[in-house]
Structure 1
Amino acid sequence: MPAWVGTSGWQYRDWRERFYPTDVPQRSWLEYYATRFPTVEVNNAFYRLPEKSTFADWRARTPDGFVVTVKASRYLTHVKRLAEPEEPVARLMDRAAALGDRLGPVLLQLPPTLRADASVLDACLAAFPPSTRVAVEPRHESWWSTEVREVLEKHGAALCWADRLGRPVTPRWRTTDWGYLRLHEGRANPRPRYGRQALQTWADRLTHTYTAREDVYVYLNNDPGGAAIVDAEAIARALARRGTPVVGV
């Protein structure tokens, strides 16, 4: 199970004191980040889809083997609510294609008020190129049905496992031959850090679910105070202790 471990973004002001050396200017933070982690989840693409030139710039500034996961824009997930997906998906993929071989999965995080509609999800996933890895993070309990699971399996899409406050908020379905985990907020001090036991438990769940040849992407989204950095490094160590190859650059 090759594990790709990173954080949800890299441009946080309070990381200046906790992660980035004082002699590294903010314009070079991505280059420095890529020396410490093999992947990043671009969370801010949700708020504003970057131009194609921005994706190309990220490709030029990162080393071979680095993976950029892109969170789909809220226009697709929150405004259109997955309906009529062809144009927003095509626009997303056209721009993200500038990443070339750096492009990793696309994350669809659904609104917490969006109730399950397996047919709409089916049509949305069908709009993506067949080679695209898509992870889906529903946030309404109505999505936990056999019909939805079958749609994910049909398209080879991963159900995004998610954790908040040290507890799973999604089923731990295995819907394809790769996995995706987002850790949003822990309960340890200083908040929102994750405790050692919580991270070890997630490492166990991953290693018991996926084989040695199946990619798993793990992103820490608890950015305040640099918690994501510390916890990403900690879960990477926990996975390595369990014999999991943790990808480096």
Structure 2
Amino acid sequence: MVIGAYVGTAGWSIPRQYAGAFGGEGTHLQRYASRLPAAEINSSFYRPHRPATYERWAMSVPDGFRFSVKVPRMITHEGRLKDMGEALLRFLDEVRALGDRLGPLLVQLPPSLRHEEAVVDRFLADFREAFEGGLVCEPRHATWFTDEVDAQLIRHQVARVAADPALLPRAAVPGGWQGLAYHRLHGWPKIYHSPYSLAQVGAVAGSLREALQDGREAWCIFDNTALGEATHDALELKTLLGTPG
């Protein structure tokens, strides 16, 4: 794991209104990666990608760029974490083609999925047996936000996402394993649409700085992509953090 601040958006589309902030040559991904140091691959949630596709993406970005990758819904939403060993191994075989451009894997859970200790323990144990890299979880049911669940996540070295909007106050701050801080901002008050104010982005910058000072890898992914606001917010956060590019 490389300690640093990774700021980006869900996907790497470049909205027309912000196109001038990016280079004019190359693919969308190449142009995006010229200004932002990370992106979250969400399409993996809906469909598998061939290793060759991941390899092509990895070759399109500069040294230091990282992709986080969303675990398939077949595992999280359809299988609900149960008996998913074979599907998980297929997914891991695909994403490993990113090589050193691979960042954390994101396990986003359905809002209806309650925490069941035995099911979660088995799933995370299987995951950790096959994968040693960064692993983050975004639960969306209130039963996940307890000291006991945090302790379970810590045992498996799984960071809990700091989400906005937050289901509970505890969901707004990173939890679980403290070796990695991962923020996902979906837009508020209108999810996926609303932009964040400078003050809100500044608060996230402060949280990322604290994580870095503590020796943690720090991520922030903006998911308010419907109107392109994620791109503006990510560029603004990167500026506040003073990172080059």
| TM-score, normalization by structure 2 | 0.87
Contact conserved, 2:13 with 2:32, CA < 8 A, in 1? no
- Which of 231-240 and 43-52 deviates more? 231-240
In the TM superposition, what is the alpha-carbon distance from 1:94 to its structure 2 partner?
0.2
Query: Residue 239 of structure 2 corresponds to which residue in structure 1?
Result: 237
Contact conserved, 2:81 with 2:119, CA < 8 A, in 1? yes
In the TM superposition, what is the alpha-carbon distance from 1:22 to its structure 2 partner?
9.7
- Taking a change above 3 Å as real, the CA distance of residues 178 and 126 of structure 1, as seen in their structure-2 partners, is same
Unaligned 5+ segments in structure 1 are: 241-245
The whole-number CA distance in structure 2 between the counterparts of 1:56 and 1:208 is 33
Instruction: Provide the identity percentage.
Output: 33
- Taking a change above 3 Å as real, the CA distance of residues 164 and 86 of structure 1, as seen in their structure-2 partners, is same
In the TM superposition, what is the alpha-carbon distance from 1:17 to its structure 2 partner?
4.4
Q: How does 1:63-142 map to 2 (within 5 A)?
A: 63-128=62-127, 129-142=130-143
The whole-number CA distance in structure 2 between the counterparts of 1:97 and 1:57 is 12
In the TM superposition, what is the alpha-carbon distance from 1:57 to its structure 2 partner?
1.1
The structure 1 residue matched to 2:209, chosen from 190, 204, 207, is 207
Number of aligned residue pairs: 236
In the TM superposition, what is the alpha-carbon distance from 1:201 to its structure 2 partner?
2.0
Query: Residue 150 of structure 2 corresponds to which residue in structure 1?
Result: 149
The whole-number CA distance in structure 2 between the counterparts of 1:51 and 1:153 is 32
Unaligned 5+ segments in structure 2 are: none
The whole-number CA distance in structure 2 between the counterparts of 1:131 and 1:119 is 21
The whole-number CA distance in structure 1 between the counterparts of 2:172 and 2:201 is 17
| TM-score, normalization by structure 1 | 0.86
In the TM superposition, what is the alpha-carbon distance from 1:53 to its structure 2 partner?
1.4
Cα deviation digits, residues 94-138 of structure 1 (max 9, x gap): 000111111110000000011111222222222223422110000
RMSD across aligned positions (CA): 2.4
- Taking a change above 3 Å as real, the CA distance of residues 171 and 123 of structure 1, as seen in their structure-2 partners, is farther
Cα deviation digits, residues 30-74 of structure 1 (max 9, x gap): 111110111100011111121211111111211222101100110
- Taking a change above 3 Å as real, the CA distance of residues 219 and 29 of structure 1, as seen in their structure-2 partners, is same
The whole-number CA distance in structure 1 between the counterparts of 2:205 and 2:117 is 30
In the TM superposition, what is the alpha-carbon distance from 1:210 to its structure 2 partner?
5.0
In the TM superposition, what is the alpha-carbon distance from 1:93 to its structure 2 partner?
0.6
Amino acid at match of 1:64: D
The structure 2 residue matched to 1:225, chosen from 227, 231, 234, is 227
Contact conserved, 1:107 with 1:135, CA < 8 A, in 2? yes
The whole-number CA distance in structure 2 between the counterparts of 1:99 and 1:151 is 29
Higher RCO (C-alpha 8 Å, min separation 6): 1
- Taking a change above 3 Å as real, the CA distance of residues 56 and 198 of structure 1, as seen in their structure-2 partners, is same
Amino acid at match of 1:96: V
Contact conserved, 1:85 with 1:123, CA < 8 A, in 2? no
Contact conserved, 1:162 with 1:168, CA < 8 A, in 2? no
In the TM superposition, what is the alpha-carbon distance from 1:233 to its structure 2 partner?
1.5
Amino acid at match of 1:233: L
